[in-house]
Amino acid sequence: MPNLLFPELVTVRLVTSSGAPFRCADILVNIHLSARRKNDFHLGPYPTNAEGVASFTREDMRASVDDTYASGLMDYGPVEECFPRVLILLSTPESISKALEARTKVWTLLFKGEKRRWKSIEELRSLYRRAAEAIQNISVLPPARLQAEWTNATAKYEYSFEVEAAA
């Protein structure tokens, strides 16, 4: 089986069941990479914009990998050895709460890659607080996670999550 190759660009859209855009900012997209040895990688968060679209590049994902290594280099093998099948998922209220707590009590400084995306740890915490509120306003229709295979470094992939306004 081939190894993971990060694509050039990934775009994730929130859509209604009819395929129309679902405009909602601050819904967090995450990527789960399955390692062949040691621990899996969890990349993100990549927030949606006001149009309900999250776009992130190979460089954004590599920055998340670098941040993962910074949190425990010996816990992870080379990301290039990961399986090419990835999971794309939206953060849940529980995962957002845990992330905010961790970034408030344990990891209280930005990692090197995060410094390219946020000006301060407070800006990242603010994103998590907005995301906690935003996710309460939607219901994700099945499937709640998408599987993809990333084996083309020049690819530009697009994915959609069907959502509706929370009742």
pLDDT in tens, 95-110: 999 999 999 999 999 9
Q: What number of other Cβ atoms are within 10 A of residue 20's Cβ? A: 8
Q: What number of other Cβ atoms are within 10 A of residue 63's Cβ? A: 20
In a domain? residue 130: yes
Residue of 46, 43, 28 lying closest to 82 (CA atoms): 43
**Residue 44's pLDDT band (cuts 50, 70, 90):** very high
In a domain? residue 72: yes
Instruction: Round the average pLDDT of the chain to a whole number and report it.
Output: 95
In a domain? residue 3: no
Total domains present in the chain: 1
Q: What's the pLDDT at 1?
A: 74
Q: What's the pLDDT at 72?
A: 81
Q: Would you say residue 64 has pLDDT above 70? A: yes
In a domain? residue 4: no
In a domain? residue 92: yes
Tokens standing for 164?
């509706």
Q: Would you say residue 73 has pLDDT above 90? A: no
Name the pairing type of β-strands 28-33 and 9-15: unpaired
**Residue 74's pLDDT band (cuts 50, 70, 90):** confident
In a domain? residue 62: yes
In a domain? residue 101: yes
Angstrom distance (rounded) from CA 46 to CA 12: 9
The residue written with tokens 């020049």 in the block is 154
Three-class SS of residue 152?
coil
Q: Are 86 and 147 in contact (CB under 8 A)?
A: yes
Give the residue numbers spanning the domain of 58.
9-165
Residue of 11, 30, 13 lying closest to 68 (CA atoms): 30
Verify cis geometry, omega within 30 degrees of 0, for the bond prior to 143. yes
In a domain? residue 1: no
- Tens of pLDDT, residue by residue over 12-34, are 999 999 999 999 999 999 999 99
